[in-house]
């Protein structure tokens, strides 16, 4: 796991939500508390979050969005092609970085080692130093509460911020809702 951030994504029945904390650290120093580590891609049709170096995030987000455009928004094909290109690039594959990408149909964790992982339950994924705390909280809240998907992500990230020193409670969220013509 990276000592970088916490990103949590939840794919509901007709909705996708991604959230991330705002803390940027360098060693044991907090450099910034209000960074945005999540993005809407492809005109808001795909959500993405990043754990790793900020400069790397911009490059990888741009690279992934270019592939999404080439693949006409097909998230599965784009994730596979992106991982191939990420792994083949001698510089990029050495990055200690991970991404979560999702829409209302799919959710994937991507890495520079070529991983394209769809979570076993196909609904919740987390990355970063507080990822295990956030995903544990999200699973419990999803199973034992009536909270909205947005509230599950927000509360889970808040719980992670109480446990992980590399995660703060300055939470950013993006939501994508399925439209009638998406079916």
Point out the residues that are catalytic. Answer: 5
C-alpha to C-alpha distance for 36 and 24, rounded to whole angstroms:
10
CB-CB contact of 27 with 14 (8 Å): no
C-alpha to C-alpha distance for 41 and 50, rounded to whole angstroms:
13
CA distances from 38 to 5, 54, 151, 159, 175 (A): 11, 11, 17, 19, 11
CA distances from 125 to 59, 109, 179, 180 (A): 22, 7, 23, 25
CB-CB contact of 159 with 137 (8 Å): yes
Bridge partners, 26 (sequence order):
29
CB-CB contact of 69 with 38 (8 Å): no
Bridge partners, 177 (sequence order):
15
C-alpha to C-alpha distance for 57 and 97, rounded to whole angstroms:
8
């Amino acid at each position: 796991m990276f000592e970088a951030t916490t990103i949590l994504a939840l794919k509901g029945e007709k909705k996708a939500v991604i959230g991330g904390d705002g803390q940027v650290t360098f060693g044991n120093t907090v450099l910034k508390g209000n960074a945005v580590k999540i993005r809407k891609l492809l005109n808001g049709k795909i959500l993405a979050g990043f754990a790793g170096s900020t400069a790397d995030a911009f490059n990888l987000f741009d690279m992934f969005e270019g592939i999404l455009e080439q693949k006409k928004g097909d998230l599965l094909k784009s994730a596979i092609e992106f991982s191939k290109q990420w792994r083949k690039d001698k510089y990029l594959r050495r990055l200690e970085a991970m991404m979560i990408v999702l829409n209302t149909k799919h959710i994937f964790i991507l890495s520079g080692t070529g991983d394209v992982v769809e979570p076993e339950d196909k609904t919740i994924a987390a990355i970063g130093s507080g990822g295990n705390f956030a995903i544990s909280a999200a699973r419990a809240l999803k199973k034992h509460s009536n909270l909205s998907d947005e509230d599950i992500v927000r509360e889970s990230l808040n719980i992670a911020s109480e446990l992980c020193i590399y995660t703060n409670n300055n939470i950013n969220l993006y939501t994508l809702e399925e439209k009638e013509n998406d079916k």
